[in-house]
């Protein structure tokens, strides 16, 4: 068993070196394809991250009508709890609203001077949604209460919708690219393996005539494809990790407030998903490309 494994590895290495130009071309093709996919994944991942933070930090604010009594306000709160797509509701009293305004105008005391006991800042509910996709639906529900229970609704509708559209477009482009670039990579790997098969065609025929099984003949070529796919994915994964990390460091040095606001997704969070996915993609490209190429040469 060990001898067979060593034979498969040795034959794969010999074939890769013998067809080194095609091997290099295959690795570069897989690397280029994987790199483009990585870039789009990072973009989509960060937009999702920004969208999530956008929901949590801004969300939706509903201002309670001045005429609403405390008892009626509690009943309205119960109505908000019945909306399943709302994940969190924070009540802000008139006193808390004034304190927030005071923080905003801190250092400009004349603006709010004399308004402590009679100020125009209303009670409100700060609402966080389970997903930004439900923003429009929740907004329509709340509009029904406007006038009696609510005086107004603050919702960053256009900004949220724009982010959702951009995210959807990037995800669609990523899916198309995965299909197109994967096909190109598989074709290039097939050509590389085909050259290796053709150079050993007579040897393969002899091996088949003396009783070698298909799996015995196939394994060295499968290992070639796996090697090309894995190396082709490892190179862009490492380079993109270093570049993304460097870009974030540079941005945070120039704009430290962005880091405080968690604007970009941390490197470890992105590559926690990207690393295994990228390696699996390279492995599958290698397997499919080599298996497809060798299949038609096994019948003698």
> What secondary structure letter does DSSP report for 130?
S
Counts for the chain of helices (H) and strands (E), in that order: 10, 4
Residue stretches of the chain with pLDDT short of 50: 114, 260, 300
Helix H segments across 19-147? 20-57, 70-81, 94-104, 135-143
CA distance 168 to 164: 6
Q: Is the dihedral of CA 164, 165, 171, 172 positive or negative?
A: positive
pLDDT of residue 197: 64
DSSP3 helix / strand / coil % (the chain, rounded to 5): 75, 10, 20
- pTM of the predicted protein model: 0.58
* Residues 6 or more apart whose Cβ sits within 8 Å of residue 78: none
CA distance 15 to 225: 11
CA distance 272 to 50: 18
pLDDT of residue 101: 59
The dihedrals phi and psi of 206, each to the nearest 5 degrees, come to: -65, -45
pLDDT of residue 146: 77
pLDDT of residue 114: 47
CA distance 270 to 278: 12
pLDDT of residue 169: 79
pLDDT of residue 2: 62
pLDDT of residue 109: 53
- 284 membership: H or E segment, kind and range: helix 267-295
CA distance 142 to 185: 51
List 64's β-bridge partners, or say none: 150
């Amino acid at each position: 068993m060990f001898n067979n494994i060593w034979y498969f590895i040795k034959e794969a290495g010999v074939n890769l070196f013998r067809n080194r130009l095609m091997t290099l071309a295959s690795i570069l093709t897989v690397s280029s394809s994987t790199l483009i996919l990585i870039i789009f994944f990072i973009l989509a991942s960060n937009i999702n991250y920004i969208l999530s933070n956008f929901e949590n930090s801004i969300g939706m604010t509903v201002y309670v009508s001045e005429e609403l009594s405390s008892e009626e306000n509690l009943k309205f709160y119960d109505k908000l709890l019945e909306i399943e797509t709302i994940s969190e509701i924070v009540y802000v009293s008139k006193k808390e609203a004034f304190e927030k305004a005071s923080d905003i105008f801190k250092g400009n005391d004349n603006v709010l001077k004399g308004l402590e006991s009679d100020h125009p800042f209303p009670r409100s509910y700060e609402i966080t949604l389970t997903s930004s996709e439900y923003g429009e639906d929740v907004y329509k529900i709340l509009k029904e209460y406007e006038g009696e229970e609510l005086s107004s609704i603050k919702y960053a509708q256009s900004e949220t919708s724009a982010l959702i559209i951009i995210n959807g477009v990037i995800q669609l482009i990523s899916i198309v690219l995965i299909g197109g670039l994967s096909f190109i990579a598989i074709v290039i790997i097939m050509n590389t393996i085909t050259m290796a098969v053709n150079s050993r065609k007579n040897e393969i025929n002899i091996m088949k005539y003396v009783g070698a099984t298909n799996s015995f003949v196939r394994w060295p070529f499968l290992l070639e494809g796996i090697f090309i796919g894995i190396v082709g994915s490892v190179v862009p994964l490492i380079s993109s990790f270093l570049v993304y990390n460097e870009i974030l460091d540079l941005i945070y040095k120039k704009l430290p407030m962005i880091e405080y606001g968690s604007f970009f997704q941390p490197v470890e969070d992105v590559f926690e998903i990207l690393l295994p996915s990228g390696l699996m993609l390279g492995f599958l490209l290698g397997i499919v490309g080599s298996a497809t190429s060798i299949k038609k040469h096994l019948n003698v």
